[in-house]
Structure 1
Amino acid sequence: MKIAFAGKGGSGKTTLSALFTRYLATSGLPVVAIDADINQNLGAALGAPAGELARLPPLGTHVADIKELLRGDNPRIGSAAEMVKTTPPGPGSLLLAASGPNPLHERFGLRTPDGATLMVTGPFGADDLGVACYHSKVGAAELYLNHLVDAPGEYVVVDMTAGADSFASGLFTRFDVTFLVAEPTVRGVGVYRQYADYARDHGVTIRVIGNKVQDESDVAFLREHVGDALAACFGHSAFVRAMEKGRHAPLEELEGDNAKTLAWMRDTVDSTPQDWARFTRQTVEFHLRNARAWAQSATGADLEAQVDPFFVLGPEALAEQRRAAAAR
């Protein structure tokens, strides 16, 4: 299951991304965490050693290598240079599993103290100023998600950049559930309204997690403004304050009510059905939009021809890839 954490800056989405990742990992479940925020803080929040984080190769600076790997021997893609962040997989493309052997995890992943696999899109560097946008780095995560076949009981947690930046591409449709982290303030619920409005016609499942909730009046405020989208609330936490100071205590020390919130979040995710046909359809939709808007002129290639109209991403496609590999 693919899960996004979104919200305004300062809402606590990185903290909740980290806590949810830790909750899944300490339960013995396979979980991949991706830091796709322009402020790269997820690794530190997961307790990864600073030295190891400094050596972790960012996805965003190896996009050409990732494209070359993922295109495989797909006859519709002439070269890695003809791939863009929305290029969909097809027969011959390399499909990725969420657990088990995965070349991207092996090259770009770091095992966290709790057992999750962490990957990062990378920081916005000095060389990027004035000449690039952060979407060029997040595009690597979009390519990964477009080629990933995750099964129930496998989790990919993505800490998104703040606000509604993910709507600049089809990235917002890549998730089974989007957790919108909202404080009980007018600004906090404003990002939810923006997300819900943009996503309305795309079947995106958005659930609000109230954060920094102090009392029932805060819950009532959130309920008034987001209605049934409110899935759970996370209260003020001494555990989180210590975590933000660099102390990563065992998750068993998390306050009982907040631990229940993490369990409710997992229940929300597990009860959401995966729809591979829709996922594939939306991949193609946004690829064609990008192709016609800018990508075909930028690459000089017919990117619309990259779409195989009969291909559907999902477990059957991954199984077929494995059968073909075994037969070689």
Structure 2
Amino acid sequence: MRVAFVGKGGSGKTTVSALFARYVASRGLPVVAIDADINQHLGMVLGMEDQALPRPMGSHLTEIKEWLRGDNPRISSAAAMVKTTPPGWGSRLLDLPPAAVTGLPTTDPIHEEFAVAAPYGPWLMATGPFGESDLGVACYHSKVGAVELYLNHLVDGPGQYVVVDMTAGADSFASGLFTRFDLTFLVAEPTRQGVGVYRQYREYAADYGVAVAVVGNKVQSPQDVAFLREHVGSDLLVCLGHSGVVRGMEQGRPFGLEDLEPEVSSGLGTLLEAVDGREKDWERFGRQTVEFHLRNARAWANRATGEDLAAQIDPDFVFGPQITAAGSPA
């Protein structure tokens, strides 16, 4: 299952996504956490030192595209492959690596090169920060496109999890990435700004069948809960209050999940139950992958590549578990 964490800047979405990834991994389940925020802090919150962070996907897009396209005859070159390019027969597909706590190797060159085992069990991948050559000439969407390509080519099954810490606010709507998830958790503080981002996200997502659940964060009183309930209604899934353990984590102090306050641990369990309660909709996933590829082709990608990228769509390719990671029928 693919899970996105979104919310206003400062809402705590990076902290909550890191806690959730650790919680899933603590159950021996394979989970890949991806830092797709322009502020690259997920690795730090997961307890990693700078020198241990993974290679940035966003700086190696050509390498990633070259491997993913395989021998798909509809894609002429890596240069003609854009962030929305869907897989087809001949493309190389991805399976999630096993749980990092097992110590087993990853399963393909993409995970071998761009995923590292984080403390406490999750794998970590990252789009990477802006480089010197990016400043003033590039937007961050060019790097986040690596995550969209990754998810387009991923065949994830039951009991496998991808947790993506997204850019703040509604910035993820700049591409089709917001439709790549089975469930989106919107982390909201009990403030007008926090619920304002919720309303904006809900409005934009409504026409695409995107499932959104609200995680109330930094909740301090029954009045805070009532405020969130008034403004987000039944979308409010769980509320997380102040945690001395989490504050210590944010200050760099290590901890075990058993140290968490019971209400925080219970809240993480509620998030996992919500994810596991979702039914994966491969038909919608495939349909929207094609839809957003055609939109991008018409808007800019045909012009940028000098090709008609509608030709990259393989009408005989069907998304889902019937396709093996080798890109041929199961």
SS of residue in 2 equivalent to 1:74: coil
Any idea what the Cα deviations from partners look like across 1:74-121, whole Å, max 9, x if unmatched?
111111111000000011111100135132111111101112110010
- Aligned residue pair count: 322
Alpha-carbon offset, residue 26 of structure 1: 1.2
Q: What SS does structure 2 have at the residue aligned with 1:127?
A: coil
TM-score (normalizing by structure 1): 0.96
| Cα offset, 1:323, TM superposition | 6.6
1:29–1:63 CA distance, 2 compared to 1 (3 A): same
Q: Give the match for residue 217 of structure 1.
A: 223
Residue 320 to residue 144, structure 1, CA distance change in 2 (3 Å): closer
Q: How does 1:254-265 map to 2 (within 5 A)?
A: 254-265=260-271
- Residue 125 of structure 1 deviates from its aligned partner by 2.2
Residues 161-218 of structure 1: CA deviation (Å, up to 9, x unaligned): 1011110010000000000000000000111101100011000000000000111111
Q: Judge conservation of contact 2:95–2:325 (CA < 8 Å) in 1.
A: no
Q: Counterpart in 1 of 2:32?
A: 32
Q: Which moved more, 1:266-275 or 1:97-106?
A: 97-106
Corresponding position: 1:11 with 2:11: yes
Matches within 5 A, 1:239-250: 239-250=245-256
> Would you say the 8 A contact 1:105–1:117 is kept in 2?
no
**Aligned residue in 1 for 2:158:** 152
* 1:104 maps to which of 93, 110, 114: 110
Change over 3 Å in CA distance of 1:262–1:149 after alignment to 2: same
User: Is the counterpart of residue 115 in structure 1 residue 121 in structure 2?
Assistant: yes
Partner residue of 2:81?
A: 83
Calculate the aligned-residue CA RMSD, in Å: 1.2
Query: Structure 1 residue runs of 4+, over 6 Å off?
Result: none
- Measured after TM superposition, the shift of residue 320 of structure 1 is 6.8
Q: Deviation string for 1:122-143 (max 9, x for gaps)?
A: 0012221110000000000110
User: Does the 8 Å contact 2:92/2:326 carry over to 1?
Assistant: no
Contact 1:99–1:154 (CA<8 Å) still a contact in 2? no
Q: Whole-Å Cα distance in 2 between the matches of residues 213 and 294 of structure 1? A: 43
Hey, what does 2:69 align to over in structure 1? 71
Give the deviation of 1:319 after TM superposition.
6.3
How far residue 30 of structure 1 moved from its aligned partner, in angstroms, is 0.3
Name the structure 2 match of 1:253.
259
Identical aligned residues as a percent: 66
Query: Residue 208 of structure 1 corresponds to which residue in structure 2?
Result: 214
* Secondary structure of 1:233's aligned partner: strand
Greater share of residues in helix: 1
- Structure 2: gaps (5+ residues): 99-106
Q: What does residue 226 of structure 1 align with?
A: 232
Query: SS at 2:34's partner residue?
Result: strand
Unaligned runs of 5+ in 1: none
CA gap 1:130/1:50 in 2 versus in 1, 3 angstroms: closer
